[in-house]
Structure 1
Amino acid sequence: MFNHPGVLVSRAQLDFVRANLGNEPWKSAWNALQLHRFAQLSYTAHPRAEVNCGPSSKPDNGCSDEREDAMAAYTHALRWYLTKDSRYAQKAIQIMDAWSAVITKHTGDNAPLQTGWAGANFSRAAELIKHTYTGWTQAGRFAGKLRTVYLPTVIAGRPDNNGNWELIMTDAAIGIAVHLDDRASFDRAITTWRGRLPAYVYLKTDGSYPKAPPNSKHDTKAEIIDYWKGQTTFVDGLTQETCRDLWHTGWGLAAISHVAETARHQGVDLYATAKHRLRSAMDLHARLELGGTVPSWLCGGKVTKGLGDHFEVGYNALHHRLGYDIPDAERWVEQNRPAGVSHFLGWETLTHAQNPHGAGTSASATPDFNADGVGDLFSAATGTLTVWNGKGGNQFGPASAISSGWTPYF
Structure 2
Amino acid sequence: MSRTSPHRRRRQLELSRRGLLKTAGGITAALAAGASAAALTGTAAEGAPVTFTHPGMLHAYGELNRAKVRVAAGDDPWLSGWNRLTGNSHSAATWTARPQATVIRGGTGENYTILYNDIHAAYQNALRWKIAGTTANGDCAVRILNAWSSTLTSVTGNADRFLAAGIYGYQFANVAELMRGHSGFDLDRFKEMMLGVFYPLNNQFLTHHNDACITNYWANWDLCTMNSILAIGILCDDGAKYDQAVGYFKNGAGNGSIRHAVPFLHNDTAGYALGQWQESGRDQGHTVMGMGQMGAFCEMAWSQGEDLYGYDNNRFMKAAQYVAKYNLGQDVPFTTYTWGSGQNCAQQSHTVISSVGRGQLRPVWDILWYHYGRRRGLDVPYIRAMAEGTRPEGGGGDYGPNSGGYDQLGFGTLMYAK
Amino acid of the residue matched to residue 198 of structure 1? R
Describe the superposition over 1:314-368 as per-residue Cα deviations: whole angstroms up to 9, x where unpaired. 22211111111111110111110111223233212211122xxxxxxxxxxxxxx
* 1:271 Cα deviation after fit: 2.1
Where do 1:264-275 residues align within 5 Å? Answer: 264-273=302-311
Q: Which residue is 1:350 aligned to?
A: 414
* 1:312 Cα deviation after fit: 2.0
Find out whether 1:247 has 2:247 as its counterpart: no
* 1:203 Cα deviation after fit: 4.1
Describe the superposition over 1:363-394 as per-residue Cα deviations: whole angstroms up to 9, x where unpaired. xxxxxxxxxxxxxxxxxxxxxxxxxxxxxxxx
Find out whether 1:106 has 2:170 as its counterpart: no
Q: Which residue is 1:336 aligned to?
A: 390
Pick from 88, 91, 94 the counterpart of residue 36 of structure 1.
Answer: 88
Find out whether 1:166 has 2:227 as its counterpart: no
* 1:296 Cα deviation after fit: 8.3
Q: Which residue is 1:382 aligned to?
A: none
Give the whole-Å Cα distance in 1 for the aligned partners of 2:113 and 2:58: 22
Amino acid of the residue matched to residue 262 of structure 2? V
Higher mean alpha-carbon deviation, 271-280 vs 114-123, is at 271-280
SS in 1 for 2:155: strand
Give the whole-Å Cα distance in 2 for the aligned partners of 1:337 and 1:38: 19
TM-score (norm 1): 0.74
Q: Is the 8 A contact 1:237 1:284 kept in 2?
A: yes
Higher mean alpha-carbon deviation, 302-311 vs 94-103, is at 302-311
* 1:302 Cα deviation after fit: 4.7
Find out whether 1:325 has 2:379 as its counterpart: yes
Give the whole-Å Cα distance in 2 for the aligned partners of 1:129 and 1:275: 35
Runs in 1 of length 4+ with deviation above 6 angstroms? Answer: 295-298
Find out whether 1:50 has 2:102 as its counterpart: yes
Describe the superposition over 1:203-248 as per-residue Cα deviations: whole angstroms up to 9, x where unpaired. 449xxxxxxxxxxxxxxxxxxxxxxxxxxxxx94111100111111
Find out whether 1:150 has 2:198 as its counterpart: yes
Give the whole-Å Cα distance in 1 for the aligned partners of 2:153 and 2:162: 14
Give the whole-Å Cα distance in 1 for the aligned partners of 2:123 and 2:334: 43
Where do 1:254-293 residues align within 5 Å? Answer: 254-273=292-311, 276-293=314-331
Give the whole-Å Cα distance in 1 for the aligned partners of 2:334 and 2:96: 50
Give unmatched runs, 5+ long, in structure 1: 206-234, 355-410
Find out whether 1:193 has 2:258 as its counterpart: no
Considering only aligned residues, what root-mean-square deviation do their CA atoms show, in Å? Answer: 2.0
Amino acid of the residue matched to residue 129 of structure 2? W
* 1:126 Cα deviation after fit: 0.5
Give the whole-Å Cα distance in 2 for the aligned partners of 1:250 and 1:16: 27
Give unmatched runs, 5+ long, in structure 2: 1-50, 267-272, 337-350, 396-405
Describe the superposition over 1:24-49 as per-residue Cα deviations: whole angstroms up to 9, x where unpaired. 11111100111111100121111111
Give the whole-Å Cα distance in 2 for the aligned partners of 1:179 and 1:303: 39
Q: Which residue is 1:392 aligned to?
A: none
Give the whole-Å Cα distance in 2 for the aligned partners of 1:266 and 1:259: 11
Give the whole-Å Cα distance in 1 for the aligned partners of 2:288 and 2:353: 20
Describe the superposition over 1:265-323 as per-residue Cα deviations: whole angstroms up to 9, x where unpaired. 11222223056222222222212111113668775365221252322222221111111
Q: Is the 8 A contact 2:220 2:286 kept in 1?
A: yes
Pick from 284, 292, 300 the counterpart of residue 352 of structure 2.
Answer: 300
* 1:9 Cα deviation after fit: 0.6
- Are residues 239 and 88 of structure 1, via their aligned partners in 2, closer, same or farther at CA, if it must alter by over 3 Å? same
Give the whole-Å Cα distance in 2 for the aligned partners of 1:129 and 1:274: 34
Give the whole-Å Cα distance in 1 for the aligned partners of 2:412 and 2:164: 20
SS in 2 for 1:103: coil
Higher mean alpha-carbon deviation, 293-302 vs 325-334, is at 293-302
Give the whole-Å Cα distance in 1 for the aligned partners of 2:277 and 2:109: 29
Pick from 263, 266, 272 the counterpart of residue 202 of structure 1.
Answer: 263
Higher mean alpha-carbon deviation, 325-334 vs 149-158, is at 149-158
Q: Which residue is 1:395 aligned to?
A: none
- Percent identity between matched residues is 29
Amino acid of the residue matched to residue 385 of structure 2? R
Give the whole-Å Cα distance in 1 for the aligned partners of 2:371 and 2:142: 31
- Are residues 272 and 293 of structure 1, via their aligned partners in 2, closer, same or farther at CA, if it must alter by over 3 Å? closer
TM-score (norm 2): 0.72
The size of the alignment, in residue pairs, is 320
Pick from 110, 113, 126 the counterpart of residue 176 of structure 2.
Answer: 126
* 1:93 Cα deviation after fit: 0.8
SS in 1 for 2:164: helix
Q: Which residue is 2:111 aligned to?
A: 62
Q: Is the 8 A contact 1:286 1:307 kept in 2?
A: no
Amino acid of the residue matched to residue 326 of structure 2? L
Give the whole-Å Cα distance in 2 for the aligned partners of 1:151 and 1:296: 36
Q: Which residue is 1:358 aligned to?
A: none
- Are residues 45 and 280 of structure 1, via their aligned partners in 2, closer, same or farther at CA, if it must alter by over 3 Å? same
Find out whether 1:184 has 2:245 as its counterpart: no
Give the whole-Å Cα distance in 2 for the aligned partners of 1:344 and 1:48: 22
Amino acid of the residue matched to residue 233 of structure 2? A
Pick from 127, 130, 145 the counterpart of residue 81 of structure 1.
Answer: 130
Q: Is the 8 A contact 2:264 2:335 kept in 1?
A: no
Q: Is the 8 A contact 2:265 2:276 kept in 1?
A: no
Q: Is the 8 A contact 1:275 1:318 kept in 2?
A: no
Amino acid of the residue matched to residue 88 of structure 1? N
* 1:188 Cα deviation after fit: 0.3
